[in-house]
Each structure stands twice: as structure tokens, then as C-alpha cells.
A and B are shown apart, each in its own frame.
Chain A
Amino acid sequence: MIDQITISALLDKYPFARTFLENNGVDPDGSGEQSLHDYFLSIDENTKEEMAIDPGHFISRLNEYISQMLSFLGETKSSVESLTILPGHYKTGEDERFSDLTIKKNEIISIVGPTGSGKSRLLGDIEWAARNDTPTGRTILINGKEPEKKWRYSSSEKLVAQLSQNMNFVMDLSVYEFLSLHAESRLITERESVIERILDQANLLAGESFSKDTPITSLSGGQSRALMIADTAILSKSPIILIDEIENAGIDRKKALNLLVSEGKIVLMATHDPILALMGDRRIVIKNGGIETIIETTEKEREILSQIEEMDKKIQSLRQRLRRGEVLTEV
């Protein structure tokens, strides 16, 4: 029940519910650790009357809002719960040694391995929903079953959305026009709230904020990436996101991953960066065109991750100080 979980958990799950709460007199940040049920108990009848809140009615409208938003966003949430990869073989023809790999939604999986080791072929297998009919001989299952044909041939429903370092905006549009166009192509009718949501999220991720009137082609690298990620998280219908290396340039990567995961995506992330690689719940090691092994991120590695995050912060602050024209005297 949505009135039993904490408001912050609710917002993690359905970030767009923020708009609803704000417009209905509940401060989403003021009572984050309370559930809506407890929140309504904590305010007296007078205040409720003043705010015109009827808890029962409020919850039922919120339920309706969420289900409408979910169908607007094409995320009926039931569609793709898990992705399973069954082994095929290496470039040499030798069988892959893992038994099977099941990735659930909200999970982050890193993919590591040298350039040319077969990362894009793995992505290709997922995208094409391989049925032992691709060069690797792998098989992909969706929700534990053979995937529906639509994943191969439908133009509007692709399994995988991609985010990469090399992508640029090429359309001659403002941020607002661009998002409207994307929303329109997804047949979303209540565009304004979705656009506002994406813009807010993008600005949370980007170091420097931008407005909806900014032309997309004049956004900085970090701003572009932030907008691409927020847009893909909220507007793209694809249940699986493949990230091909996101650099640290002007974007909060942890928040970015959290946003994608909170939108119910399965996140696969090809990376050479230790911070990103360890942010995953597990990592796939690729070698010679095959999946060599799958490693669960250990407790020790999580400790190491916080250490390198500290180092990273230090480097960031040095960068900031140099930018401001300071002379460095210590690290």
C-alpha cells in the first residue's frame, strides 16, 4: 500500500509523485521518513480541514495518478521484471562456463573487459533477444521465458536504450521543445508535468543548472549528459539501459544511476572506471568474446569504493580550486 511506505521510498519508486504531493499540500521533503498514513495521523483535524485533505480521497487519487502516470510513461512495471542470459560460447568456440545470469530490475550490473572483448556483442544479444541464433550462441530470456517477438521487430518497443559518452544533441530545438517532441512521440498526453519532472531531475544531476528555453545544442557536456539520462530514465520505454562509460565531467553519477534504478530500469554499464565498476551490484567480466565470470561486489570492495570516492572528491576539489585561479599549496 502506498500510504504505508515512507514518503521518501514512495518518491524513490515514483519520482513523479512529487508533483502530486506538492500540488496537494504535502511537503515531500518535510516529512520524508514518515508514511502518508502516519503523516495524516500526525496532523490535527483543523489543519486537515484548512488544507482540504481527506486522507482516504487523497490516497485514492494518488493511486489513480500513479497508475495513469505509469501508463503514460509506458512503464506498466509488469513488463520486464528480469533478464536472463544463458551461456553460449567464446570466439574460439569453447563453451562459456557460467550457468546462467539473471538480472532483476532495479539492479546495476557493470561490464568490464578489454576493448574489443565482446561487450557490444553482449549488448547486441540482449537487444536482439538472442535465441541461440547469434554468433555467440547465447539465449536471452525475459521474465524467465522466451521473449515476445515484438522485442525484435517493433519500432517503438526496443529492449535496450543506450547512453554513451559520444552522444550529442543534433536537433535545433530548445530543451522544452525537445522534451515535448519526445513526449509526443511516446503519445504522452499530460506532457507538462513529465517535462517539468525531467527538467528538475536533469538539473539535480548537472553541476550547472539550465532552463527549459536553453537550446539543446548549446548545453555543456555535463548538462547534455544530465538531460539525456533524465530523459531516458523518465521518457524512454526501454526497460534496459546500457551505459557506455559516463565520465565524471560535471555530472553526479551516483544520482544518475539512482534515478535510472528508481524508474525500474535494469542498468548495464560498460566501464573502465573503478568507481562506476564497483557501484554495480555485480560485474560481468568479458574476455575473448565470452562471459568469463560474474563477480558479486564484496563488502571489502564497497569499503574500497568509499575510499576511492574520497580520493575522487579530493581531485574534484583540486580541479575546482585551479578553476577559481588558486595556487595549490597542499593536497
Chain B
Amino acid sequence: MNLVTVSGPPSVGKTSVILKTIESIKNRGLKVGVVKFDCLYTDDDILYEKAGIEVRKGLSGGLCPDHYFVSNIEEVVDWGIKHGFDLLISESAGLCNRCSPYINGINAVCVIDNLSGIGTPKKIGPMLKSADIVVITKGDIVSQAEREVFASRVHSVNPKAVILHVNGLTGQGSFELSTLLFSEDDHITSLKGKTLRFSMPSALCSYCLGETRIGESYQMGNVRKIDLGKEQ
């Protein structure tokens, strides 16, 4: 089975892109499954089911979604293998722009959209910078120049990635993406011994543990302070 991790900020069109891409993959006679990771709520699983794709969802609730992802991905892979998928796609939202659920040796796709502003590629951390493939969506509604500028900004932060434009509504570009997501050479039988490409954000302060009160005396563990400049 091949595993592909897809991530990107909320509402960029990850699910639409994956759905369109799976259509092309299915035409090649491959069996595809999806696992959707989210934080509080998602009904994207219904969209996958409607398209006849086997899907599971995981909600992290009060936990950091990517910590939740990495603690569960091994079981998810075992589930996928048991179901005889040729390709398993994990979809997760990079909620803090810092996380990346990418695993060394596993194809990693980051989805971002043209509307997010040209400063965005700089703002997104490893999720964009360490992806193998960057998919840019919503190119049909901005000018050619803005698409070119945006792609060049993406290129400047991740020169190694293949950058593709995909339209999640019409599916333009999704066939092309599908050709990059499955290879006979990329089969895995488990994730044992694999490592994350990038460490998750460090945490564990008192607020991670349920503290709600504000004030220095309640802050323990890993705490960092904002620099507001020196006052006279």
C-alpha cells in the first residue's frame, strides 16, 4: 500500500482536491481509502462516502491535532493494509501553520490557496517548506500575474517541491496530481521505524494541562514571553 499525507490550512479545498484526484486514481483500477483528521468537527467524511470512498475520521478534540495524528497514524496504516487499499490518503488541517504531519519516506502534499495572500508562503512553516508536492488552489478566480507571483513565493520557500495548480471545482489539474501520488516503488507494510520530517511544536505548559486562570503565578513548564520592547 502507498501512503500519502495531505495537509493545508482550513478551507483551502483539500477535500475537493482529494476527491477529484481520487476519480483519476480509481480509473487506473486502484483501491483508495481516506482518513480525515480534524480538530472539533468535520462532515467531510460524508462527502467521501457519497463518492463511494471508504473513509474514517478522527477528531482530536482538546488535543493538538497533529500530535493526535502522529499518535494514531500507525494504527491507521494497519487498518488500510487490512482493507487492501492500494493507496491510503490522510487529510489533516494545519491549524497553527507550524505543524506538519509529514513522515520521512512518505509522499507529502501541502495544499494552499491563491486567496490567502502573498505573505502566506512565508508564514507557513514546515507544512509548506518540507512538502514534496505543493498544490495551489483557487487559481481560476485570481489574475495570471497573482498566480505567478504566488507560485514564485512558494518556490522561494520550497524550491524542491513540484508545484501544481489544481481547480477543486472543475478538477483541472487533478489528473496531473494523481500521476504523482502512486508508485509501485512506494509500497509500505508498516510505519515502524519511520520518523517525522520535523518535530511538532514543543508544548507542555500549565495551559496544556487544563489551567484556565490568567496570571504569571499559574504559568509553569514551557513558557515563552512576548517582547514588547523596553519601556523607560
Give the B-binding residues of A (Cβ under 8 A): 120, 123-124, 127-128, 133-135, 152-153, 155-156, 161-164, 166-171, 178-179, 181-182, 185-186, 224, 228, 231-232, 235-237
Contact = CB atoms under 8 A, between A and B. Distances in A.
Given A127-B176, A169-B146, 8 more contacts: A152-B176, A156-B152, A161-B148, A169-B142, A181-B118, A185-B148, A186-B148, A236-B145
A111 to B, nearest CB: 15
B140 A164 contact: yes
A232 B145 contact: yes
Contact of A170 (B24, B115, B144, B162): B115
Given A133-B179, A185-B148, A166 B172 contact: no
A234 to B, nearest CB: 10
Contacts of B148: 161, 182, 185-186, 236-237
A168 B155 contact: no
Contacts of B27: 135
B114 interface: yes
B155 A171 contact: no
B142 A170 contact: yes
A248 B59 CA distance: 50
Contact of B146 (A153, A166, A171, A237): A171
Nearest to A231: B145
Given A135-B27, A181-B149, A236-B148, A153 B142 contact: no
B151 A228 contact: no
Given A162-B144, A163-B144, A169-B143, A134 B175 contact: yes
Query: Per DSSP, are chain A's interface residues mostly helix, strand or loop, or mixed?
Result: mixed
A96 B151 CA distance: 35
Given A156-B152, A185-B152, A166 B145 contact: no
Nearest to A236: B144
Contact of A155 (B114, B142, B145, B151): B151
A236 B151 CA distance: 13
A185 B175 contact: no
A40 B225 CA distance: 73
Interface string B146-158: 1011011111000
19 contacts: A128-B175, A156-B152, A156-B155, A162-B140, A166-B140, A167-B143, A168-B143, A169-B142, A169-B143, A170-B115, A171-B118, A171-B146, A178-B145, A185-B149, A185-B153, A228-B143, A231-B145, A235-B145, A236-B148
B54 to A, nearest CB: 24
B11 to A, nearest CB: 15
A254 B29 CA distance: 47
Given A155-B154, A155-B163, A164-B140, A120 B145 contact: no
Contacts of A134: 175
A18 B140 CA distance: 33
A310 B148 CA distance: 38
B145 A228 contact: yes
Contacts of A156: 151-152, 155
Nearest to B140: A166
Contacts of A170: 114-115, 141-142, 146
B173 interface: yes
Given A182-B148, A182-B149, A228-B145, A167 B140 contact: yes
Interface in B173-215: 173, 175-176, 179
Nearest to B150: A185
